[in-house]
């Protein structure tokens, strides 16, 4: 009989009882060769699978941690952020600008400027400015001043990576104020360039510039111009260093032998900004000029102030007259020029 069957021996005289209470268990497996007995008691659940590394995720993490070199913008706009702080648009008299969006592609503006002493040959100005977007790649605008008889036109056309611009300016009488210019803007991920061809001041005008990002913070470039009216050839070189809260830019003009330095610092991001410009000639330090500017941005208003080395102080206050974004805005501007003993004050409205 099988040993797994329960067996009971009935006692006989002079003998005792013997019983098999449980089934016989199988003997343990022998340990593997080269291993100890203790190793066989390891819980399989405690073993973890090896970490699988995805090659695509590793590349994405490396790319995100690296600082990419971006497009530096156009060379003509390298110092635009600083100039907005130090070159304020102060006017005298009364000015009102009215804009109306007639359709998603058609905008019309009327500009009135009355009681000013800053215009030659009169104290008033009116301008009619229509702007039309023919499609996603074409933009047309014009500025007509019936009082002075001047017309300024501009056409922008995007063709692939190129931006074509045609600029025309003319007056009542043909002369030095007429201008015609054909521009081509081009660029890629890390550089921009521009080509110019046209007529200015009664002569041929040629120009080109190039701006290249060297590092995520540093960009360098240069510009060359030819003015046929006086036969001058001008060249300049620019280096710009920018970060999250400040930028510094230096420009050297070989024709004028002038060095211009610009600096901007956001003391409080999106609230308080400081800008400065220093222009000097290494061969004649007495021709140097300096300008400083500050801007304070509030919830619905902005205060800008600037002062130069000659003692001219400019102040502009812009404020919204409502909580909505389309609310009319009021502008107050003042200027005191201590060197020339002149003062100006103006105010205006902007309605859209």
What pLDDT does 171 receive? 75
**Residue of 229 and 13 predicted with greater confidence:** 229
What digits encode the pLDDT tens for the residues 49-94?
444 456 666 666 655 545 578 899 999 999 999 999 999 999 999 9
Q: Under 8 Å CB-to-CB from 155, ≥6 apart: which residues?
A: 138, 139, 140, 164, 165, 166
Nearest alpha carbon to residue 212 among 112, 45, 74: 74
Which helix (H) or strand (E) segment holds residue 81: the answer is helix 80-86
What digits encode the pLDDT tens for the residues 119-151?
887 899 999 999 999 998 999 999 999 988 889
The yes-or-no verdict on residue 28 having pLDDT over 60 is no
The yes-or-no verdict on residue 280 having pLDDT over 80 is yes
The overall average pLDDT reported for the chain is 84
What distance in Å separates the CA atoms of residue 158 and residue 51, rounded to the nearest whole number? 50
Query: Could you tell me the pLDDT band of residue 304, with boundaries at 50, 70 and 90?
Result: very high
Q: 124: which 2 tokens?
A: 């008033």
What pLDDT does 59 receive? 65
The bridge status of strand 203-213 relative to strand 218-227 is antiparallel
């Amino acid at each position: 009989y099988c040993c797994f069957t329960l067996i009971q021996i009935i006692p006989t005289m002079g003998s005792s009882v013997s019983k098999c209470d449980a089934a016989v268990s199988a003997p343990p497996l022998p340990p593997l060769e080269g291993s100890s007995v203790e190793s066989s008691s390891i819980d399989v659940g405690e073993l973890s699978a090896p970490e699988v590394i995805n090659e695509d995720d590793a590349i994405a993490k490396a790319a995100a941690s690296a600082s990419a070199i971006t497009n530096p913008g156009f060379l003509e706009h390298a110092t635009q952020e600083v100039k907005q702080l130090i070159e304020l648009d102060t006017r005298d008299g009364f000015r009102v600008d009215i804009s109306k969006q007639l359709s998603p592609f058609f905008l019309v503006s009327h500009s009135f400027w009355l009681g000013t002493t800053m215009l030659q040959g009169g104290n008033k100005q009116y301008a009619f400015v229509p702007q039309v977007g023919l499609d996603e790649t074409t933009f047309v605008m014009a500025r007509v001043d019936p009082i002075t008889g001047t017309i300024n036109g501009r056409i922008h056309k995007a063709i692939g990576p190129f931006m074509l611009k045609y600029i025309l300016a003319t007056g009542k009488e043909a002369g030095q104020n007429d201008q015609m210019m054909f521009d081509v803007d081009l660029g890629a991920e890390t550089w921009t360039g521009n080509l110019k061809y046209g007529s200015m001041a009664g002569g041929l005008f040629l120009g080109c510039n190039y701006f290249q990002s060297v590092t995520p913070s540093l960009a360098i470039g240069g510009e060359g111009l030819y003015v046929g009216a006086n036969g001058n050839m001008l060249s300049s070189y620019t280096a710009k260093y920018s970060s999250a809260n400040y930028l510094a830019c230096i420009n050297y003009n070989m024709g004028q032998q002038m060095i211009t330095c610009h600096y901007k610092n956001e003391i409080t991001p999106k609230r308080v900004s400081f800008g400065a410009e220093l222009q000097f000639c290494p061969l004649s330090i007495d021709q140097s000029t300096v300008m400083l500017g500050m801007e304070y941005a509030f919830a619905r208003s902005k205060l800008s102030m600037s002062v130069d080395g000659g003692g001219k102080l400019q102040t502009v206050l812009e404020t919204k007259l409502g909580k909505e974004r389309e609310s009319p805005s009021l502008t107050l501007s003042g200027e005191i020029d201590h060197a020339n003993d002149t003062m100006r004050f103006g105010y205006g409205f902007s309605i859209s």
